[in-house]
Amino acid sequence: MSQPGTVFELAAARWPDVEAAARRLLVVPVGSLEQHGPHLPLDTDTRIAVAVARRACAGRPGVALAPALGVGASGEHADFPGTLSIGTEALTACLVELGRHASRDWPATPARCAWPRPSAVIRGRSARSCRRCASGACAR
């Protein structure tokens, strides 16, 4: 897990692998399934989030890569065929619950953000930022 360039991928691990591994931080790539013009696949944001997250995890002891959440809040793209969206509230609830559950195994050091501490969320799109962080609620 800590070899240069290697990534501890949670989806490929067996539970004894997880139990034996150092566990500091779980990185969750969050993407979407929406249009990006006629020339790019619908999962472009997910691919970007996974690539960034994989690079962030590489060679870092105790840092694991969670499977990507490939459907996000993309209601503004609903007019394009193939778009799937669960909405902002459902996505937020999913990430909060995922963070709560992950906290059993990834006791990360305290962070400034009020989101669940054991996870880092890597978003594949930059159109929106965390409303709580933008408002300063996460710094409290």
- pLDDT at residue 137, rounded to an integer: 43
What local confidence, expressed as pLDDT, does residue 99 receive? Answer: 86
Q: Check residue 119 and give its pLDDT.
A: 53
Extract the residue ranges of the chain whose pLDDT is less than 70: 1-4, 108-121, 125-140
Answer yes or no: are the C-beta atoms of 64 and 10 closer than 8 Å.
Answer: yes
Taking alpha carbons only, the member of 110, 108, 112 closest to residue 137 is 112
pLDDT at 3: 63
Contact, 27 vs 53, CB < 8 A? yes
Per the rule left: phi > 0, alpha: psi between -120 and 50, beta: everything else, 5 is left
Tell me what pLDDT residue 48 has.
Answer: 94
| Domain ranges (residues) in the chain | 8-139
Per-residue pLDDT at 120 = 64
Give the pLDDT score at 105.
87
pTM for this predicted structure: 0.77
Give the integer Cα–Cα distance in Å for 9 and 58. 10
Say what the pLDDT of residue 2 is.
Answer: 52
Q: What is the pLDDT of residue 47?
A: 95
Q: Are the CB atoms for 44 and 52 separated by under 8 Å?
A: no
Q: What is the dihedral of CA 123, 99, 67, 5, to 10 degrees?
A: 80
What local confidence, expressed as pLDDT, does residue 89 receive? 94
CATH ID of 8-139, from 3.40.50.10310, 3.30.465.10, 3.40.50.2300, 1.10.238.10 = 3.40.50.10310
